[in-house]
């Protein structure tokens, strides 16, 4: 029994390491940026733990959030309910999820940067794959007075589903 528990914990640990290593992929020609990359990793952690406050604190106080088929949400306080309702739904359904990012373009200046990429959300129920989705995104990230980089603009939409043959 102890061996089975040990093997289970080892498997969980290795899956966790794999998820952490693949939560941010920088395509060829995209330079790493320690602080901005850390923001994406924190975003992924917030999704894994369904932590609304953690994800909200990655946005500036006056951030613009551009969800598909909806109005522009302006300000961190306006953004929070979107994440809260989504995370609450995931919890109610008894699911967990991960989000990963693949960056194709990045431009960074002293206090302003943008990224263009694809996000992938995966959901799990009872340890089994419960579905996934992908979308494209553009973010504008700013360095605030406290030195932290936060999302000022976050716009995204679904990718076109693959054509059936």
pLDDT in tens, the chain (165 residues): 433 333 333 333 333 333 444 899 999 999 999 999 999 999 999 999 999 999 999 999 999 999 999 999 999 999 999 999 999 999 999 999 999 999 999 999 999 999 999 999 999 999 999 999 999 999 999 999 999 999 999 999 999 877 777
| Cα 107 from Cα 72, distance rounded (Å) | 24
Q: What pLDDT does residue 3 have? A: 34
Total domains in the chain come to 1
**Among candidate residues 123, 104, 136, 132, the one with its CA nearest the CA of residue 47:** 123
Please report whether residue 11 resides in a domain: no
The first and second tokens of residue 11, run together, are: 């498997």
Is 65 within the bounds of a domain? yes
Q: Where are the alpha helices (DSSP H) in 50-153?
A: 52-56, 76-92
| Cα gap 101→42, rounded to integer Å | 12
Evaluate whether residue 144 is within a structural domain: yes
Whichever domain contains 95, its CATH number is 3.10.450.50
Instruction: Tell whether 117 is covered by a domain.
Output: yes
Q: Are 160 and 134 spatial neighbours (Cβ–Cβ below 8 Å)?
A: no
pLDDT of residue 15: 37
Domain holding 36, by residue range, is 24-158
Whether residue 19 lies inside any domain: the answer is: no
In a domain, 101, yes or no: yes
Residue 14 is predicted with a pLDDT of 33
Dihedral of the CA atoms 67, 71, 73, 79 (nearest 10)?
Answer: -50
> Does residue 3 lie in a domain region?
no
Q: Judge whether 80 lies within some domain.
A: yes
């Amino acid at each position: 029994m102890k061996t089975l528990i040990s093997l289970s914990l080892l498997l969980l640990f290795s899956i966790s390491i794999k998820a952490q290593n693949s939560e941010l992929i920088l395509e060829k020609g995209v330079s790493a940026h320690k602080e901005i990359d850390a923001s994406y990793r924190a975003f992924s952690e917030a999704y894994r733990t369904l932590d609304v406050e953690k994800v909200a604190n990655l946005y500036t106080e006056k951030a613009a959030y551009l969800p598909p088929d909806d109005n522009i949400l302006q300000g961190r306080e306006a953004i929070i309910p979107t994440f809260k309702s989504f995370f609450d739904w995931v919890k109610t359904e008894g699911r967990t999820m991960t989000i990963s990012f693949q960056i194709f373009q990045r431009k960074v200046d002293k206090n302003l940067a943008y990224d263009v990429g694809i996000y992938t959300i995966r959901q799990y129920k009872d340890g089994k794959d419960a579905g996934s989705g992908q979308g494209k995104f553009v973010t504008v990230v700013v360095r605030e007075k406290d030195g932290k980089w936060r999302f000022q603009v976050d716009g995204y939409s679904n990718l076109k589903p693959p054509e059936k043959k």
